[in-house]
Structure 1
């Protein structure tokens, strides 16, 4: 089965409400969906989310990258995944979102050809995983309301966006801790908002107050590996590296220096499954656990991420809630979410049957 064509399209993903985080406000996310078509008529599905402020990928850059990639892999056997990814990497550097979309589609085809769901191909450790839900930064009232609403829906782990003011962060978390019932765990996403010493002071205050934070995600700037290690070494709370790990080479830096306690893997950051697996394997060797995260992605990307997350025992946490933020689900098939549990299907590949509202873009 050889690659005959690659078609590219776009889907609209209107949100239920505006998505806020420390560095950006999003009202209508954009997602590019690729269809890799074989000479036997089989179709593999993949997607690319625009994440300009994290990976530098915009809609135009994704489309430009796919235009370059397409002629380089036409005619290659779908089983030759190493050859496909080698050709892609030789064609252009970075552009991880476009590479992830092709990567997803190739593995989707692989699963369909051999009649195996991807989670079983990747390891099959389990078929479901618990996800947290993000509580966006806002007023105290907004954050408490969002937290209580999430708990009523069955979520037991809340990932709280705290903004850049460390004292405000402490105040918000203190109120939330008093507002939620016992058994609900708070996770904190600092979104690169603090300086290293400020982060240490802030986290120690949280510890002294008994806030019992599960982990602190990316407290310092992505490029500040020394600062990240400083924070990790000087607090008891576990530190999760997110933006600092764009790909396998970045993960190696963290692993070699023990610069973080946990690594957050996102397919859009690292370029797909084949690079994500490298990170998982390196981390597992030295005993660093991993979390599977996502960008603001449709069910295509969430299905792909969940397929790897459930498959590997070193994946102990998941942050895969974004598909719940959309007004409607345009993806037929894929994962199912029951409260805070994401369950993958036993259908071949990603198990996605149709992408509604897909509008083709001619490259």
Structure 2
């Protein structure tokens, strides 16, 4: 089962509503798609969106890393020696985690097809049904309250609320408005996207605790590199703190776990470089008794399908943030995971279960 061809092409799909965080605003989902073909005819797919403010990668840099560096060195290798293949993938180039993730997904797609299993079963098969939250973009207080009502009417009972863009008191007003609009039974998670300083985070979270806003967790309240600040926040509030941008690699995860700087870890394939390393992060987190969420960037259903398969396979992954395809005006894919409101059904087909990428979304 040798790697015979590695091809790339770009896709783009408009969002039906702009996605806004403390770091960026997105109106169109752009990605590089990787297609891997093996000498037995097996075909696998992967995806890498450019996320300049998080991974530091552009479409051009992802394309260059895949076409000029990764592909030439992997071609001819056998997936039946997959440990060698993945070791080579991660040794060839420093960083470039999204480029690696796109290749990694396609390789796992091929491997699980060869094994005759859906990928989630190949990886562990813990579950075949997930429930995603839905993201409330950072906006005016009134807009966020309206969005909250709309998402709840659409059947979502867990909301991930973006904050951290303006001053801290405005963020508190936003959360108060969201909680009032949501009522008491809806799960609310906050994501500050590194937008607060440690003392600001402690002030805001304590005020929300005192007000009875009942926040499930706060994700990445401080800068990614500031593990001391992250630990400070964790130790001075009762609300669980989740590390996101602080954890790209297994080394990062070990640092967070050893220093007890966070209560939870958010794994994203675009940060870890794909499933191969994500599995290691989930395992070491479990050894410390720390549960994981699996999230995503603004991706199409190609990358999300791979992330869902990984998340469904692991017992220690207990939370899921896979709403990105629901933000798109149209589905770019035939096959893959299927959405029914908040529910995500894993396909029974082998591999990722991808049938076809719709031609109208392909740019080249």
Normalised TM-score (structure 2): 0.97
Structure 1: gaps (5+ residues): none
Residue 104 of structure 1 corresponds to 105
Shift of residue 123, structure 1, vs aligned partner: 1.4
Q: What is the alpha-carbon distance in structure 2 between the residues aligned to residue 175 and residue 243 of structure 1?
A: 27
Distance in 1, Cα, partners of 2:16 & 2:78: 41
Contact residue 290 and residue 317 of structure 1 kept, 8 A? yes
Mapping 1:120-139, distance limit 5 Å:
120-139=121-140
Query: Which secondary structure state, in structure 2, belongs to the residue aligned with residue 160 of structure 1?
Result: strand
Q: Offset at 1:162?
A: 1.6
Q: Which residue of 1 aligns with 2:17?
A: 17
Residue pairs, 1:1-363, within 5 angstroms: 1-67=1-67, 68-164=69-165, 165-357=167-359, 359=362
For the 8 Å contact 1:240–1:263, the answer to whether it is kept is yes
Q: Give the C-alpha shift of residue 42 in structure 1.
A: 1.5
Is the partner of 1:28 in helix, strand or coil? strand
Q: Deviation string for 1:96-123 (max 9, x for gaps)?
A: 0010000000000011111101111111
Give how far 1:271 is off: 0.3
Indicate how the Cα distance of structure 1 residues 90 and 176 shifts in structure 2: closer, same or farther if over 3 A, else same.
closer
Provide the secondary structure at the position in 1 that maps to 2:28: coil
Query: What TM-score does the superposition give when structure 1 sets the normalisation length?
Result: 0.97
Spell out, residue by residue over 1:226-270, the C-alpha distance to the aligned partner (whole angstroms, 9 max, x if none): 100111111100001001111211111101111100000000011
Q: Relative to 1, partners in 2 of residues 1:91 and 1:224: Cα closer, same or farther, differing over 3 Å?
A: same
Assess if the C-alpha contact under 8 Å between 1:162 and 1:168 holds in 2.
Answer: no
Post-superposition shift, 1:359? 4.0
Partners of 1:58 and 1:144 in 2: CA distance? 33
Report if aligned partners of 2:12, 2:363 keep a CA contact under 8 Å in 1: no
Find the residue that maps to 2:17 and give its secondary structure: coil
- Compute the displacement of 1:129 (Å): 1.3
Worse-superposed segment, 155-164 or 97-106: 155-164
Deviation at 1:177, TM superposition (A): 1.2
Kept in 2: contact 1:264–1:290 (CA 8 A): yes
Cα separation, 2, equivalents of 1:17 and 1:175: 20
Q: Distance in 2 between matches of 1:269 and 1:180?
A: 31
Q: Is the 8 A contact 1:29 1:50 kept in 2?
A: no
Q: Does the Cα contact within 8 Å between 2:164 and 2:196 map onto a contact in 1?
A: no
Structure 2: distance between partners of 1:177 and 1:17? 22
Q: SS where residue 137 of structure 1 aligns?
A: coil
SS at match of 2:313: coil
- Number of positions where the alignment pairs a residue of Structure 1 with one of Structure 2: 361
Q: What is the CA–CA distance in structure 1 between the aligned matches of 2:48 and 2:331, rounded to whole Å?
A: 17
In terms of mean alpha carbon deviation, does 189-198 or 218-227 score higher? 189-198
Deviation at 1:360, TM superposition (A): 7.5
CA contact 1:188–1:217 (8 Å) conserved in 2: yes
Name the SS for the 1:15 alignment partner.
strand
| Uncovered stretches (5+) of structure 2, i.e. residues with no partner | none
**Conserved 8 A contact 2:164-2:194:** no
User: Take 1:235 and 1:90, find their aligned partners in 2: how far apart are those partners?
Assistant: 40
Deviation at 1:15, TM superposition (A): 1.1
